């Protein structure tokens, strides 16, 4: 286990990823992180894939929260992908955006819905801009996402947009379990507490906040 500021990995050179360990978007307690990637583009246009719940009332509520949040951060426009958008509409929305945002919620629901729409997955893979995952969104963008609930560990096979493994909402009490998984599976794990993140640029990843790195080396 260590707290190095950077490491090396394989990732598309023309895409930047910000993986956030968890944010209460109502409280905006990661605004300082979100401002980082907003500052990297001119006239930010954010495309949100809000499919992290089957509760439509909850989804609508958080859409409003996110839209107001991003507009206040300086977004020129905030778009949302709809589940019934056809291939043409999906392509048009992706072509307008320079920031792609995957929010918190249930990672299994989000992953299932994206994988169920091959043309959406294709657009994500082709997207050349800034890709942001918060909590559930961070988990599914990776090769492996680790979930610990009531002491039980499950490993989510993500979209593998970048070949890292992350644990979001990390707590120090999870250290032993993550060390064991790291050694058993021979993988490096980025443990992200809430209000922290990693920024991935090409073959380099930088930590933002109090990130712990578990490595088998």
Is 8's pLDDT higher than 80? Answer: no
12-46 pLDDT, tens digit each: 456 899 999 999 999 999 999 999 999 999 999 99
Name the pTM for this structure.
0.92
Q: Give CA–CA dist 148/154, Å, rounded.
A: 6
Contacts of 61 (CB under 8 A, 6+ apart): none
Is 76's pLDDT higher than 90? Answer: yes
Closest Cα to residue 156, out of 169, 172, 142, 170? 142
Is 120's pLDDT higher than 90? Answer: yes
Domains by residue range for the chain, with CATH: 6-214 (3.40.50.880)
| 186 or 7, greater pLDDT | 186
Question: What confidence category does residue 198 fall into, taking pLDDT thresholds of 50, 70 and 90?
Answer: very high
CB atoms within 10 A of CB 198: 24
């Amino acid at each position: 286990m260590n707290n190095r500021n950077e490491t090396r990995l394989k990732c598309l050179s023309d895409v930047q990823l910000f993986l956030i360990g968890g944010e209460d978007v109502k409280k905006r307690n990661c605004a300082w992180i979100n401002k980082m990637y907003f500052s990297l583009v001119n006239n930010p246009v954010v495309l949100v894939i809000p499919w992290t719940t089957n509760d439509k009332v909850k989804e609508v509520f958080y859409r409003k929260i996110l839209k107001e949040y991003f507009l206040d951060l300086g977004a020129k426009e905030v778009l949302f992908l709809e589940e019934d958008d056809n291939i043409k509409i999906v392509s048009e929305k992706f072509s307008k955006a320079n920031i792609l945002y995957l929010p918190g919620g249930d990672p299994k629901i989000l992953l299932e819905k994206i994988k169920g729409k091959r043309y959406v997955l294709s657009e994500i893979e082709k997207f050349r801009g800034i890709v942001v995952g918060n909590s559930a969104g961070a988990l599914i963008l990776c090769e492996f996402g680790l979930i610990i609930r009531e002491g039980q560990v499950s490993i989510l096979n993500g979209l593998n947009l970048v070949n890292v493994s992350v644990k979001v909402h990390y707590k120090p009490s999870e250290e032993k379990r993550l060390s064991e998984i790291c050694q058993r599976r021979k993988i490096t794990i980025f443990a992200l507490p809430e209000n922290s993140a990693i920024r991935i640029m090409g073959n380099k990843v930088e930590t933002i906040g109090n990130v712990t790195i578990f490595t088998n080396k």
